[in-house]
Amino acid sequence: MNKLGIYFGPNSINIAESKGKKLVNSVRIPFLESSDIELEGKVPLEIKLVAIINEALRSNKIEAKEASLALSGRDLIIRGFDMPDMPRDEMASAVKFEAKKYIPFRVEELISDFQAQAERSSRVNNVLFMGLKKEMLDRYLSVFNQVNIKIRRLEYSGFSIIRALKLSGANDSGVIGILCADFSGDDEANFAVLENGFPLFNRDINLSLNPGIPTGLDSAENQPTVLLDKLKSEIRVSLDYYLRKFPGKNIQRIFSFVNYERYQELESFMEELSIPSKFIDFSKLVGNQQAYSSGFLKGYSASLADVVSTKVRINLAEVKAQPKKTVLSGSKLDVSALLKDVKIDPRTVFLGVLICGFVFAYGLYRLAPVKLDLNNIISKRVKVEKVDDNLSSAQLREISSQYKKKLASLDALIRKQLYVTEALDSIPRCIPDGVWLTKFSLNKAEKGKAVLLLEGRSYLRSADKEFEAVNKFVDNLRNDAALSKYFIEVGITSIDQDAQEKITITRFTLSCKNYKEGK
């Protein structure tokens, strides 16, 4: 079945008929009476437009009855912004609120849709928002309904070109740019940046030197060099804005749909910007030698909507066709009407009951061990005797005093407990060369007083050096922040020489106390 792609541009309507991916027919309908038709004129103008389109379809023997409509950027509101990750229902309300910043009229007057692309690294969503005034959409649909064409898809023409890029076989992975321009001055130029096929940025560029005058009446079409310079300037502005909005997402290459005779100049410009550029041959896409036209390219790309998929799924025609949710207010819901066509199969009911029963029984089975553990824990609780209600205030104060003493004892065990782990961990770092420990012990003879005894040996082949090493060990212990926090007094308890197997070593004992001697 043949499909139509219709591009409603600033100065002409371009219709392309395709069968699968093959172009079958094409027609261009110029705006002869006005170069700024927005379907907002009087009724006779709309009727005349219907007659012109109908005549063009008949004379070119185009019989397809379904079409995808691509609109220029001037008719649409297209914005991109970031939103935090949230459920779809909540995001719809948040996007609607955010979009109000970019809509110069009431949001209720708009047919809109959005698409979000999650960015895992920053946990945000890149949101693409698109909208069209309801009044304008109704007039577009009215025109094509009168020529017996049903609009199945309505999209932005700048994104339609993505299909042509995919059809060419170009690698669209990573961050890439797409440039579509026609130096005849008949159509707007489009520049978009995609990340793995999803739009991050788009801009429409008006290349007409005199936008209010129809093509052919000004000198723009005779001055392609001037138009090229204007395009270069606009691309610089677009890239500057893009890089400020998306720092770090550098464009890896730009694919260009342009007139071949002007591509070399454009390629040199891209080299100045240090961005690789690649020319997409228009004639190879359509399979014939038809002259390049950006308007025709957009119409042809729109006709491929059913055979070439892209990551842009926004379709305003589909949003328009969705039935509105009805709110029941002051009326009763007719349940019998809802259930009159429902047939009940006893086997299905039995199977449903059986499944529910199995799930309930399995839940009880899984719950039984938990209940058993809970009962065991409750049974092991300490039973607290109740206080006699008849006790006097003096007796109650006595009981309270006893409990406070018990709590103080427990608190002393916990808060005043001496933990020497940190101190012991620092001892090895304090031992100098030639010294080693043979034994240590912790004594707590009196309440609140603790003594850490360290026994060791020193061997440096000189009694003086060995005594000096022991003294250095003592100094290191005294100056260690971790050990001195617990033991405020470190000293030598004993030190002497000991002969072992024909050698003499120094034996010593050190004491580390958490209190000052005599206190």
Give residue 436's pLDDT: 92
Per-residue burial over 381-395, b = 16 or more CB atoms within 10 Å of its CB, e = otherwise: eeeeeeeeeeeeeee
* 169 against 423, higher pLDDT: 169
* 399 against 35, higher pLDDT: 399
If you average pLDDT over residues 498-503, what whole number do you get? 80
If you average pLDDT over residues 59-81, what whole number do you get? 88
Each residue of 244-294: pLDDT tens digit? 888 888 999 999 998 888 888 888 888 888 999 999 887 787 776 677 888
Assign 212 a pLDDT band (cuts: 50, 70, 90): very low
Query: Can you tell me the distance from the alpha carbon of 74 to that of 376, in angstroms, rounded to the nearest whole number?
Result: 75
> Is the confidence at residue 35, as pLDDT, over 50?
no
> Is the confidence at residue 152, as pLDDT, over 50?
yes
Which of 134-138, 220-224, 329-333, 385-389 has the weakest average pLDDT?
A: 329-333
Query: Can you tell me the distance from the alpha carbon of 483 to that of 503, in angstroms, rounded to the nearest whole number?
Result: 33
Q: What is the CA radius of gyration of the chain?
A: 43
399 to 391, 394, 405, 413, 457: CA distances (angstroms): 10, 9, 10, 22, 56
- 12-19 vs 3-8, strand pairing mode: antiparallel
Assign 385 a pLDDT band (cuts: 50, 70, 90): low
If you average pLDDT over residues 158-168, what whole number do you get? 92
> Is the confidence at residue 217, as pLDDT, over 80?
no
Give residue 153's pLDDT: 92
Query: Can you tell me the distance from the alpha carbon of 80 to that of 114, in angstroms, rounded to the nearest whole number?
Result: 9
Query: Can you tell me the distance from the alpha carbon of 22 to that of 20, in angstroms, rounded to the nearest whole number?
Result: 6
All domains in the chain, ordered by first residue: 3-210+221-321 (3.30.420.380), 421-513 (3.30.980.50)
Give residue 44's pLDDT: 58
* 305 against 123, higher pLDDT: 305
Give residue 312's pLDDT: 92
In the numeric block, which tokens belong to residue 180? Answer: 């579509």
Give residue 240's pLDDT: 92
Average pLDDT over the chain, rounded to an integer: 82
